[in-house]
Amino acid sequence: MNVFRLAGDVSHLVAIIILLVKIWRSKSCAGISGKSQVLFALVFTTRYLDLFTVFISAYNTIMKVVFLAMSYATVYLIYMRFRNMYDSENDTFRVEFLLVPVIGLSFLENYAFTPLEILWTFSIFLEAVAIMPQLFMITKTGEAESITTHYLFFLGLYRALYIANWVWRYHTEEFFDQIAVVSGVVQTIFYCDFFYLYVTRVLRGKAKMILP
């Protein structure tokens, strides 16, 4: 465990908590892509099947269980509890365009052709693109509430810190995970445009982020 990894995990946790608390407090999921949240729940489910096969540490187990529970809670709030506030008209990204290539790639490029390894690879590839329905929704409506942008900021920060973690691990442990690093870098690129807007608009005190 290095400082980048820990900070990355904390950012990830903060992002998910921000979203959950926002939905709970405002009793609304307006502007939130339910599709992205379902994809994230699928990411955690397929990746953390290793909870049943290997024990790494108490930290590892607790964080995995917390991520799983919170992602399912978010999906529950959007599609069940506050479903009448769910903005389905603007959440129109076609997820099959993500799922089909991601499923195909995880069968082609993996560390071992076993169900658990294919599912692990699937989760890594899917996480790289899971935010696209949310970014698509913001582009479509042309705006995002600042709290939604804080969520996206911490999610992007988590990805950036994981890259720093891999650079650190490469130099100190000679660890290099090709699948995770390549898709992690791709994923981080999706946030760059958003980061620019976040710094130039939201951090200058705008209540909403309006796209140019």
Q: Report the interface residues with other proteins, using CB under 8 A.
A: 5, 9, 12, 50, 54, 56-57, 60, 63-64, 67, 111, 120, 162, 165, 169, 173, 175, 177, 180
Nearest CB to other proteins, comparing residues 28 and 110: 110
CB of 104 to other proteins, least distance (A): 21
CB of 9 to other proteins, least distance (A): 6
CB of 61 to other proteins, least distance (A): 11
Nearest CB to other proteins, comparing residues 107 and 111: 111
Instruction: Supply the DSSP string of 143-178, one letter for each residue.
Output: EEEHHHHHHHHHHHHHHHHHHHHHHHHHHHH----H
Nearest CB to other proteins, comparing residues 60 and 141: 60
Nearest CB to other proteins, comparing residues 93 and 162: 162
CB of 4 to other proteins, least distance (A): 11
CB of 48 to other proteins, least distance (A): 9
Nearest CB to other proteins, comparing residues 143 and 177: 177
CA-CA distance, 173 to 50, in Å (whole number)? 23
Q: Which amino acid is at 108?
A: L
Q: How far is Cα of residue 88 from the mean position of the Cα atoms in its chain?
A: 20
Asked if residue 154 lies in contact with residue 9, where contact means CB atoms within 8 angstroms, the answer is no
